[in-house]
Amino acid sequence: MKFFKKIFSPAILSFSLLLLTYTLYKSEIYWDGNKRSYYLTYYFISSLFVFFSVTTFFFSQKTKEYLVISIISVLISLYLFEGYIIYKESIKKKVYQNQTGNKWDDRSLIQVFEDLKKKNKKAVVTIGSKKYNNNNLPIFSLSGISNSETLHCNENGYYSIFDSDRYGFNNPNNEWDQKEVEYLLVGDSFVQGECVNRPNDITSVLRTLSGKSALNLGQGGAGPMSIYAILREYLNTNVKKVLWIYYEGNDLEDLEREKRNNILNNYLNDPNFTQNLKFRQSEIDVLATNYILKSKKNKKLENHVNSFTLKIVNFFKMNNLRSKYQLLLNPKFIYKLVIKKTSPQSLSEFKKILLLSKELVNKNNSKLYFVYLPEYDRFKLNYDNKSYNSVKNIISELDIPFIDLNKEVFEKEENPLKLFPFELFGHYNVEGYKKVAENIYKLTNE
């Protein structure tokens, strides 16, 4: 013990500096600063460790002894918890296998992508709107790569894949040729159909229920400004109902990011502004393809080989524990949950965007509906989203029909979490999407 007490302060200081250096490398070099907000937690923790380790040089030997025992106890507890999470993950995979008869797809995104490319050289992966939020780009793309087999994500045991339409959205191509479109949906990844296959996304279920045409213009990462821009670029005169699908988890946060983009601001400030995106799909395809190639080259689509060695490494890195609770430990999330209230300015801008959208839809002789989707943490952490009443009041003031799916669907469930993949954080599962679509259909036809 004397030896440990002697080297305790230098060792913990060395570890803290190494952690801070590694965080700096991953954030600023490996990810080129593009994931700085994600590493905010680790900057905070490593800096705190450095400060703490310096103070330990002034601790008594007895205090250091207690600290050594405490640290060892905490580490043992954390690794036991990591093992428990691994066990729970294995149970989840067994449940999936028993329910479907299929084995959980453990491949990484890039492994699946490479396997798809062997069969189809034109296969691509989805790229969210956030990737285009750069004022140096000549175009702000509001969709994906057109006419391509598009790899999406895995939250339900399998990787979802869809064939994109002529404009890069998740639709059968012939939906654009219909004389009349009953529903046009705009929103983020929940509209796009994140992690489920057609016909289980909201739009496909609406097609089935109504027996009529429906267009899915959802795009991962799209916030209010992007959604308004999508309507400006892609709304046709044959659309009867426009469904603005609002996700309470991040839509107003996305607005804060989008306000910094010059092209998106042009849509708000100039009623005649357009990028003519319908006629520039080839440029969109090239831009997105180059991003995929660059991401792959920089190893930003990480290639995790499911080997025993890697599993051991991931265990010691506490990958599962960090992944599962990173959100809860993130200072930004704690600020949002406990302290933050949406600024009056953001709500004012949100109201302006919705007013412009309503005017656009009315001018098109279509009817606008506002659909409110609740987030996972509302049920897991038992808290009320602080912006709910503000958003609802704005919709009421603008006289837009308000479809509150938190009340219509989730609050009526004995266990709302069952509408999420294995009751874990993520998008809705097949049952969740179906119930959302069924209620939209019912409430837009009353």
Closest CA to 238 of 322, 149, 177: 177
pLDDT of residue 312: 75
First vs last C-alpha separation in the chain = 75
Say what the pLDDT of residue 298 is.
59
Angle at 164 between CA 350 and CA 198, to 5 degrees: 85
* Check whether domain 158-283+341-443 has CATH 3.40.50.1110, yes or no: yes
Distance CA 219, CA 213 (A): 19
* Tens place of pLDDT per residue across the chain (446 aa): 555 567 878 888 888 898 889 888 877 876 666 567 667 777 888 888 888 888 888 888 888 888 878 888 988 888 888 888 778 778 878 888 888 888 989 888 888 998 999 999 989 999 887 777 677 788 999 999 999 999 999 999 999 999 999 999 999 999 999 999 999 999 999 999 999 999 999 999 999 999 999 999 999 999 999 999 999 999 999 999 999 999 999 899 899 889 989 999 999 999 999 999 999 999 999 999 988 887 776 555 544 444 566 667 777 777 777 665 554 454 445 444 444 456 778 899 999 999 999 999 999 999 999 999 999 988 987 776 778 999 999 999 999 999 999 999 999 999 999 999 988 888 999 999 999 999 999 999 97
The angle, 0 to 180 degrees and rounded to 10, between the axes of the packed helices 224-234 and 251-258 is 80
- The pTM (predicted TM-score) of the whole model is 0.81
Strand partners, 369: 243
For every residue of 74-137, DSSP letters joined together read HHHHHHHHHHHHHHHHHHHHHHHHHHHSS------HHHHHHHHHHH-TT-EE---GGGG--TTS
